[in-house]
Amino acid sequence: MLFAGSMATRLDADRWGELDILEVAPVDLPASGVPSSALWGCGRCGDDHRLADGSVVKVRSHLGVADQIVCARCAAVARRRCVGVRSSRVLLVDDDNEHRDVLRRTLEDAGVAEVVGYVRPGRQALVETERLRPDTVVLDLAEPRVVGLELLSELPDKVRVIVISGRPRTRQRCRQRRPGTTVLADDRAGRKRLLTLLDEAR
């Protein structure tokens, strides 16, 4: 059993895709001296969770080896990586933090994707696409704003792009801007279809 204690390294979720996962183990509560009911911020997603429900993930980056205390959801992602189970690498592009977090949880709970990063629509999305090299970019566009439509045109052809929008007009403009792009409605059927597409791509 591992315990990272106060020395646990906190890494932004958008760096997770760059790490090698070496080991996943339970938190050693007796060694920590911390009550099992204590809340702890996940070292990957930032969500608060009971320390007793968390795991310690040993990761390796260009800076060396470190431990992260993570929630059960992120531990499951790490275990799949650790044993070589293939998941689609997804970059989420969304300017609504709450909606983005819900979508991340949906994808990772289903086990069909690993969200390697998230960013707002704009030039930074192109930078992150080049840096993280995702299999799929999921672009959430609530409104047909120019910045989102321009991004759609500029993303590399080799990257699969899936657009989610609750507005029919936006979905139509996305299809016109990047022919062949998968465009889904922001509803239960659309989310189910997204899970199916990512599962098929693994």
Q: How confident is the model at residue 17 (pLDDT cuts 50, 70, 90)?
A: low
**What per-residue confidence (pLDDT) applies to 2?**
39
Task: Give the pair of three-digit tokens for residue 198.
Answer: 């990512």
Do residues 186 and 164 lie in contact, with contact meaning Cβ atoms separated by under 8 Å? yes
Q: Which residue has the tokens 């310690």?
A: 56
CA-nearest of 82, 72, 81, 136 to 109 is 72
pLDDT: which is higher, 142 or 161: 161
CA 54 to chain centre: 18
Contacts of 109 (CB under 8 A, 6+ apart): 73
**What per-residue confidence (pLDDT) applies to 143?**
58
CA 174 to chain centre: 23
d(CA 12, CA 112): 21
Report helix, strand and coil shares of the chain as percent, to nearest 5. 40, 30, 30
Average pLDDT over residues 174-178: 87
**What per-residue confidence (pLDDT) applies to 200?**
80
Contacts of 59 (CB under 8 A, 6+ apart): 9, 11, 19, 20, 21, 22, 65, 66, 67, 68
> Per DSSP, what are the bridge partners of residue 162?
138, 182
What tens digit of pLDDT does each residue of 42-77 get?
A: 887 778 888 888 888 887 777 778 888 888 888 888
What tens digit of pLDDT does each residue of 20-35 get?
A: 788 888 887 666 667 7
**What per-residue confidence (pLDDT) applies to 58?**
83
CA-nearest of 159, 98, 150 to 130 is 159
pLDDT: which is higher, 108 or 183: 183
pLDDT: which is higher, 82 or 180: 180
Q: How confident is the model at residue 130 (pLDDT cuts 50, 70, 90)?
A: very high
Single-letter amino acid, residue 113: A
